[in-house]
Amino acid sequence: MPTATPFNAIGAGNGFPSCLSKVNVSGFDHWTTLSGVNKTSPTTSAHLIAESLELAMMLYWNLTSIDCSADAYNLTDSVSVSGDIFLKDPPGYNLKAAYDLLDPLTPSSRVCKPFPDSTLYEDNSGGSFFRAVRAMVGITVVALYDGPTSDPDNFVGYGGGRVRPSDSTPSARTASVYAQWGGYCGVNIGGYLDEEGSSSLEESYGYKTFSFGSKTFHFAASAIARVSTGGSSYYDATASVNPTLTARSTFRRTSDDSLKSDAEVTLSSLDFYTY
């Protein structure tokens, strides 16, 4: 856990540099505030709203990195990432060489960068976009409403941004890890999501917690892995949210191990600045 320099920020008077987006999450398959109010347990309270605000401020100002692993490989070659992926300055999409040259986005530098979105790391040294690993960390925070946002009684607390389970491009989610080499798999956490419901995917959804010290953060989570695209190819796939957020897809051109390739990912923890 890195140590940050203490600072003061006026911001928008709500604990953040700008006003938060309001999202009606009642129609989504899964949603949760950072304090654990969710679609299956939607009753909130002043205490749970206050707790979600505290966690949301900690996420925005102090999240520094995710600990993850992603591997894509065949019998002779591989591409992988393992360990910490940092929120970088400036945020955005970066291939490995550019990512390595950037400094971490410190808490004080977030004052004048309202919701700097995310850092997406990609290593495609496997030869193409289709032989790559990607990991993303982001700090988007939204106000969640269980119904129309025009009614303040529907406000349930604060959470992360939207998860799109099959999309490995930068987005509002809190973290994602993807790998692709013949097979394709990915895991995500955020505030709310819809299930894919695809016959070509092994899918797992639910709620995932990550702890840091005495704080526990609640997220909607997804794990997906490709199982079929038709034709003569063979896939074996696993996907799980709990107890470990992980997914794996194994591709074979034939029913034996010839022309075999694998993709597997895991998201293990979040790390934060301390003072």
CB 143 within 8 A of CB 20: yes
Question: How does pLDDT run across 56-82, given as a tens digit for each residue?
Answer: 999 999 999 999 999 988 777 888 888
Phi and psi based region of residue 36 (left: phi greater than 0; alpha: psi -120 to 50; beta: remaining): left
Question: How does pLDDT run across 6-31, given as a tens digit for each residue?
Answer: 656 666 678 888 889 999 999 999 99
Q: What pTM did the predictor assign? A: 0.90
Q: Give me the pLDDT at residue 274, please.
A: 92
Q: How far is CA 204 from the centre of its chain?
A: 15
Q: Cβ atoms within 10 A of the Cβ of 72, count? A: 31
pLDDT at 252 over 90: no
Question: How does pLDDT run across 121-168, given as a tens digit for each residue?
Answer: 888 775 655 678 889 998 889 999 999 999 999 999 999 999 999 887
Cα–Cα distance, 46 to 63 (Å, whole number): 25
